[in-house]
């Protein structure tokens, strides 16, 4: 299976004209699944700009509710309606900055699946948890609690994003990544009853042009979730070539 490369633009790319130019400037090795994740107001623009290519669009969050009186929230079915295929759920910037728990993540992921989206469920330990030797336990708990029952039927996409690696220029060693991805695969298989080949685990956190090939060569790494380096077109395109 080809690698999946997600460019998480966070709240960095705009205005509209720039978003459109960037979406069109991504060059596409055909065996790679490229996913762009712009801010909510630009989702339909990016969907239109990539129509007819193999680039897919991801939202950065969705509501845990199907519809109703939830001011400011956006439902998964609304995202689906404007051409979105994926949604990032439980990014550490949501877990930390907005107090989202694994319980919230599970409910959001359930809504995403019901609406026909593929949730990218993010998990990962903090620096303190790693130094205290708790990384495996913390991640096990997040995986068990964040995957909804709805995910036990099809396929599942997770992203291992150690919090201390995001935007820091630091990455775990290849050995640490291999060990953690194997752990996540086995916990997710236990949680869902799915065969391991139906579970994909991306790596995210300081992926750059110069480390992408090495990280993607680690067994158990199905692709990468890229933040900062997705904001530099040249660099992002060279990560796609590495895939």
Active site residues: 91, 161
Q: Does 8 bind ligand PGA (CB under 6 A)?
A: yes
Q: Does 228 bind ligand PGA (CB under 6 A)?
A: yes
Cα separation, 9 vs 20, in Å, equals 13
In angstroms, give the least distance from the CB of 71 to ligand PGA: 27
DSSP character at residue 125: -
If the CB atoms of residues 75 and 162 are measured against ligand PGA, the closer one turns out to be 162
Cis check: omega of the bond before 33, within 30 degrees of 0: no
55: left (phi over 0), alpha (psi -120 to 50) or beta: beta
H or E element in which residue 108 lies: helix 102-114
If the CB atoms of residues 119 and 205 are measured against ligand PGA, the closer one turns out to be 205
How far from 33 is each of 24, 100, 127, 223, CA to CA, in Å? 15, 28, 30, 9
If the CB atoms of residues 38 and 204 are measured against ligand PGA, the closer one turns out to be 204
Q: Does 50 bind ligand PGA (CB under 6 A)?
A: no
Q: Does 206 bind ligand PGA (CB under 6 A)?
A: yes
DSSP character at residue 94: H
Q: Does 216 bind ligand PGA (CB under 6 A)?
A: no
If the CB atoms of residues 182 and 228 are measured against ligand PGA, the closer one turns out to be 228
Q: Are 93 and 63 in contact (CB under 8 A)?
A: no
Residue among 76, 158, 207, 221 that touches ligand PGA (CB under 6 A): 207
Q: Does 12 bind ligand PGA (CB under 6 A)?
A: no
Site of interaction with ligand PGA (CB under 6 A): 8, 161, 166-167, 204-207, 225-229
């Amino acid at each position: 299976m080809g690698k999946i490369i997600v460019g998480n633009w966070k709240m960095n790319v705009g205005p509209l004209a720039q978003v459109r130019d960037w979406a069109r400037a991504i060059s596409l090795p055909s065996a790679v699944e490229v996913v762009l994740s712009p801010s909510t107001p630009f989702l339909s623009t990016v969907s239109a700009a990539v129509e007819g290519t193999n680039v897919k669009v991801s939202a950065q969050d969705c509501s845990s509710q199907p519809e109703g009186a939830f001011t400011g929230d956006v439902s998964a079915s609304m995202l689906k309606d404007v051409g979105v295929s994926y949604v990032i759920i439980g990014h550490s910037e949501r877990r930390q900055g907005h107090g989202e728990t694994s319980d919230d993540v599970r409910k959001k992921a359930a809504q995403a699946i019901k609406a026909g989206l593929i949730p990218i469920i993010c998990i990962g330990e903090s620096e303190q948890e790693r130094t205290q030797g708790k990384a495996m336990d913390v991640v096990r708990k997040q995986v068990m609690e964040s995957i909804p029952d709805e995910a036990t039927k099809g396929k599942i996409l997770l992203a291992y994003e150690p919090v201390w690696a995001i935007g820091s220029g630091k990455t775990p060693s290849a050995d640490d990544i291999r060990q953690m991805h194997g752990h996540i695969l086995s916990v997710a298989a236990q949680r869902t009853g799915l065969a391991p080949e139906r579970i994909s685990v991306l790596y995210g956190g300081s992926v750059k042009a110069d480390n992408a090939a090495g990280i993607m060569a680690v067994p158990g790494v199905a692709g990468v979730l890229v933040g900062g380096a997705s904001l530099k077109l040249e660099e992002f395109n060279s990560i796609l070539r590495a895939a």
